[in-house]
Amino acid sequence: MKRTTSPDSHLSRRNFLKYAVMGTVVINAAMLSSFSSSWAAGSKGNNMLILYFSHSGNTRKIAEQIRERMGGDMIELKTVTPYPKDYDAVVDQAQQEQQNNARPQIATEIPNLEKYDIIFLGFPSWWGTIPMPFFTLLEKYDIGDKTLIPFCTHEGSRFGRSEQDLKRLCPRARMLEGFEVRGSRAGGAQRNVDAWLHKIGLLTE
């Protein structure tokens, strides 16, 4: 006997397929959301390092605000010979170091670098890039394929070419979107820091 198919049964199969596809999309979205949340939750704590250099204290304020939300370890990059406190003297020295492609000697050690999966790297923007002590540090320590997240304070230059320099120094690192703020606004930047951490998927609360 020839089997016939009624319009209703055909419609039912079509609807079934449509809802099955929709269900798959919903399930996949839920799985992605669950994965993202699990990754963010696992990012807090011992696998995270906040590494920063701060001359005036503004970058330190942002580092502390990140740690307030994310936890982790915090290490300040220091040079063997401290930079002068006078602003004009620091500006001149920073420019001279860039022109000479200098590698200032650093006093900071990073024990157990291998335990960190995520590294926040903070700095004041000096002449449009990272201070030269970071060149010393990042040529000494291999960041490898870790996740690198820059943040900087500035007075108008924003990141300048610092992100390009970081990519050159850490070619295998996975770099996420960074955070920049004028140094004069660093003390009151917690809400902006929180919004940024939410945007890059690290803060889910």
Asked if the model's pLDDT at residue 33 lies above 60, the reply is no
Residue with the bigger pLDDT between 111 and 32: it is 111
Closest CA to 130 of 162, 159, 152: 162
Which pLDDT score is estimated for 30? 38
User: pLDDT tier at 25 (50, 70, 90 boundaries)?
Assistant: very low
Please tell me whether residues 180 and 89 are part of one structural domain: yes
Asked if the model's pLDDT at residue 43 lies above 70, the reply is no
Q: In the chain, how many domains are there?
A: 2
Within-domain flag for 1: no
Within-domain flag for 101: yes
CB 99 within 8 A of CB 129: no
Angle, CA 105 vertex, CA 115 and CA 114 arms, to 5°: 10
How do residues 136-167 score in pLDDT, each as one tens digit?
999 999 999 999 999 999 999 999 999 999 99
Here the tokens at position 74 are 């915090």
Which pLDDT score is estimated for 45? 62
| Cα separations in angstroms, 95 against 17, 90, 107, 143 | 66, 8, 21, 26
Closest CA to 45 of 76, 21, 71: 71
Which pLDDT score is estimated for 44? 59
Please tell me whether residues 106 and 140 are part of one structural domain: yes
Residue-number span of the structural domain to which 38 is assigned: 7-42
Please tell me whether residues 33 and 75 are part of one structural domain: no
Within-domain flag for 2: no
Asked if the model's pLDDT at residue 23 lies above 50, the reply is no
Please tell me whether residues 79 and 23 are part of one structural domain: no
